[in-house]
Homo-oligomer: A and B are copies of this chain.
Amino acid sequence: MSTNSSPQSVLFPTILIHGVGLLGGSVARAARKSGACNRVIGVGRKQDKLDQAQALGIIDVGYTELADLQQESIDLVVICTPVDRIAWDVDDLAEHLTKPAIITDVGSTKQNVLDMLSTELPPHLVFVGSHPLAGSEKQGFENSLADLFEDRVTVVTPSESTPEPAIQLVEQFWARLGSRVARMTPHDHDEAVARTSHLPHLAASALALCVGEKLHHLTGSGFRDTTRIAAGDPGIWTAILQENRKAVVSSIDEFTSALTIIRDLIASADRENIEQFLTQAQHSRNKLNETRQPE
């Protein structure tokens, strides 16, 4: 037997998934499959949904009331609710978790959660933010996948006061689920994903709006690819854009500046600099192909 096949230790015996949807269900499945936990508790709004998730083996038990958690010994909480709910959910949980636990999340924006936490957490609880860059256009735990985080990057975003051991445990958790882990400050994370994720969504949406239905027969695969993410859920995206308002606005300003540069080059028929602009963009896009790991 290879030494690689020796079982790895359980990181968090019992984990709580708050919000058992596509992401929450996938965390549950991946944590169980990887042996990162022994037991998964789900919290959600609807008991019948939790019962279905339990029947599918995604969770071991499901509660709709946080008060019921007081009978449980929970080691890690993963909050998988929308980004504008996370801080509220952390505050609520703090009132019901009586034993030491680490709390993390899967939200797409990070600084806002810290800003919104109404009070300091009690000393037996530590919050360490996470953002796995993984998702699906499908929704619901029915579509959750045990390998959703494999070969994806998960950003872990401690604040200056987060204890190092708690950070490392959360990093080990995501690594066990197959992620490549990157540590960033919440601010740097938000600035980065404004550009890599939120801005592309807005560009795709604005493009979709600029090309009305009567021009659809004249579109090709380029337009279809460029606008694909505009089909994303408006409610989820409104929350993300709101929560990361400042960085998103500055990324739009940067984008429109780049567009204004190429617009003026085209208007003034500056062939040489048009080609240079496109060549730099091509170079940057080709670098992306070179550096990415397969997904």
Contacts and interface: CB of A to CB of B under 8 A. Distances in A.
Interface of A: 133-135, 152-153, 155, 180, 182, 192-193, 195-197, 199-213, 215-235, 237-238, 241-242, 245, 248-249, 251-256, 258-260, 262-263, 266-267, 269, 271, 274-275, 277-282, 284-289, 291-292, 295
A239 to B, nearest CB: 9
B216 A201 contact: no
Contacts of A205: 262, 277-278, 281-282
Contacts of A211: 195-196, 284
A284 B212 contact: yes
Contacts of A226: 200, 203-204, 225-226, 228-229
Which of A155, A197, A251 neighbours the largest number of chain B CB atoms within 10 Å of its CB?
A: A197
A255 B196 contact: no
Nearest to A195: B211
A227 B285 contact: yes
* Copies of this chain held together in the complex: 2
Nearest to A281: B205
A135 B259 contact: no
B209 A287 contact: no
A216 B241 CA distance: 21
Contacts of A222: 197, 200-201, 204, 228-229
A204 B203 CA distance: 9
A247 to B, nearest CB: 10
A249 B259 CA distance: 10
B238 A202 contact: no
